[in-house]
Structure 1
């Protein structure tokens, strides 16, 4: 507590802004003296998780544990993609830029969790004051290094393919353990944007909608499935009483137009990220490769049929919803963007196998979309 010109001020309050009136003052006229919603911060927590979007999404289960362990803590999250984070669950969301860095370096935290091995993230770990630090620091050689032994496992699986292939822990469990927590299958914290007023009048009704995310980004194109496989899957879904809906961004526009023309499957088009998330919320199940849509689907708690070929299958936790399917022959292109054999092993993933996984995850007679 402080007194300025005889006026009581609580700079330690969760609501206090310091540059503009806080929300309780703006909405109710409360001042610090005798404020009925005064909420002193007991722990100041900083999460550094910059990107990519999918990795940011699948780090959000930590919020649930942090709120449980530190109910009076103030959580600050530094990221490259602030729009993807659930603003209502985080006290302060900062985008990585010079003003944010200068601001953070002048503050003190009780707990700092740096979950990225990017050099800028590690440098911030080292230059921001905090009582306890977890994750990754910067080695004198100029590379990422474990802050303590809790980070050793996750660090080593990221730098040696052989250890990565032997790993049997899901990513979220690894992140929890890196922070000193036992993972108890905490769900993601995510905004489905149902309150934004988006309308989806063109979507099919009366049948379970199965969203088909047909792309995978341009980093590891060995994940792509051919048009022929998608057409076969769509036709099987239609014959079994499902309503396939093609999903994707601008990179998938041409492919989805082709698939729509060939099968008549619904294709609502491309949308900004928040609207795309809400479109996925309208689905009864999602078929996707390992890409951003996979993380969104899991975060939305949708039954997810995950087509995986070049990653360790243990890395993904579907929370008991959905199925993970892989090609019928082993892939020799672990974490590779191009196939050493010339033809991606994804072509050895039968449409029938994916179709059966959909049937097991979303029965055609149940959960009809309205």
Structure 2
């Protein structure tokens, strides 16, 4: 064991900080020579998954398998959105910036997994020392992302050729498990409900049947996913008639729409919230209706029955874990991963409210 001035120092312990006293020392006065909670790290793993938020959320099932395959591992996660990750389930969460990139290059890991094709993420995989690497690296000859080993080839190719992406039948989570050399066994997301924050939800409807969250927006990148006010009004009316309690969800971009829908129907709308509070609001609900957007990933992570309205994405990409249903228009979408409709009117408008309502009724009985 290494010693400093004759004192044994367990630098390999998962509690050890090096720049500050560890928690066992701070709370109980333990020192390394006789520490009863000494926990040596068996392996060090770095996950590079920078964004977007939804993709970060749906990468968390890997944590369960890594813990199983490598007991005692110390996991570091590099991301653009640290707040979305479960703080108590990951030993070290780093925000991607110059300081983090600099110190990671000076460290050694047993495994590095990079699931992003951004050049900066791939460059880090190139330069960080580890005997095992999975995912994407940066080709020095031309600066493009490239699979670092054969396991990453399938996921890589579905991302660069629309034809292969359309033909793919594997959900995203299965793809990233296989990229890391694992078979996917239905591992659930690892996620924080933020129940410990004590948020007040007394304004939510009570005693009026199951609460169904209606996430009415989808961001501004792929607006072909949007559903019109008329469709939402029709769905709300059917839900209310059947004894459900609709709860409108969204961010600042959806606020005006949700206020219109509330005024027209009396459906509950509590306003917009910071992300942790929004997550906890969704946790109070019995089911979620949403397009492919961040709320979809949160709903799946919270293990809610999810009624997913899809048009421009490969439906095989999404694993609802047997909870809820994916619904689509009868008109085949010709705008795969496009932000504007080639035909002038999105096929999402051909998805009837009745079909979405029936999916809710099948997934969340009154």
Q: Same fold (TM over 0.5)?
A: yes
- Provide the C-alpha distance between the structure 2 equivalents of 1:328 and 1:349, rounded to a whole number of angstroms: 7
- Provide the C-alpha distance between the structure 2 equivalents of 1:41 and 1:194, rounded to a whole number of angstroms: 30
Residue 271 of structure 1: aligned partner? 273
Could you state the TM-score of these two structures normalised by the residue count of structure 2?
0.99
Residue 33 of structure 2: aligned partner? 33
| Number of residue equivalences | 364
Could you state the TM-score of these two structures normalised by the residue count of structure 1?
0.98
Paired residue secondary structure (2:333)? coil
Residue 60 of structure 1: aligned partner? 60
Residue 359 of structure 1: aligned partner? 361
- Provide the C-alpha distance between the structure 1 equivalents of 2:98 and 2:108, rounded to a whole number of angstroms: 18
Residue 96 of structure 1: aligned partner? 96
Where in structure 2 are the equivalents of 1:185-196 lying within 5 Å? 185-196=186-197
Instruction: Give the deviation of 1:163 after TM superposition.
Output: 0.4
Per-residue Cα deviation, 1:220-266 (whole angstroms, up to 9, x for no partner) = 00000000000000000000000000000000001101100111100
- Provide the C-alpha distance between the structure 1 equivalents of 2:206 and 2:358, rounded to a whole number of angstroms: 22
Residue 224 of structure 2: aligned partner? 222
- Provide the C-alpha distance between the structure 2 equivalents of 1:309 and 1:68, rounded to a whole number of angstroms: 36
Instruction: Give the deviation of 1:275 after TM superposition.
Output: 0.1
- Provide the C-alpha distance between the structure 2 equivalents of 1:161 and 1:101, rounded to a whole number of angstroms: 32
Q: Does the alignment pair 1:174 with 2:175?
A: yes
Residue 367 of structure 1: aligned partner? none
Per-residue Cα deviation, 1:248-289 (whole angstroms, up to 9, x for no partner) = 000000110110011110000000000000000000000000
Q: What's the RMSD between the two structures over aligned residues?
A: 0.5
Per-residue Cα deviation, 1:74-102 (whole angstroms, up to 9, x for no partner) = 00000000000001110100000111111
Instruction: Give the deviation of 1:201 after TM superposition.
Output: 0.6
Paired residue secondary structure (2:34)? coil
Residue 78 of structure 1: aligned partner? 78
Q: Which runs of structure 1 show a deviation greater than 2 angstroms over 4 or more consecutive aligned residues?
A: none
Residue 239 of structure 2: aligned partner? 237
Unaligned residue ranges in structure 1 (runs of 5+): 365-370
Residue 313 of structure 2: aligned partner? 311
Unaligned residue ranges in structure 2 (runs of 5+): none
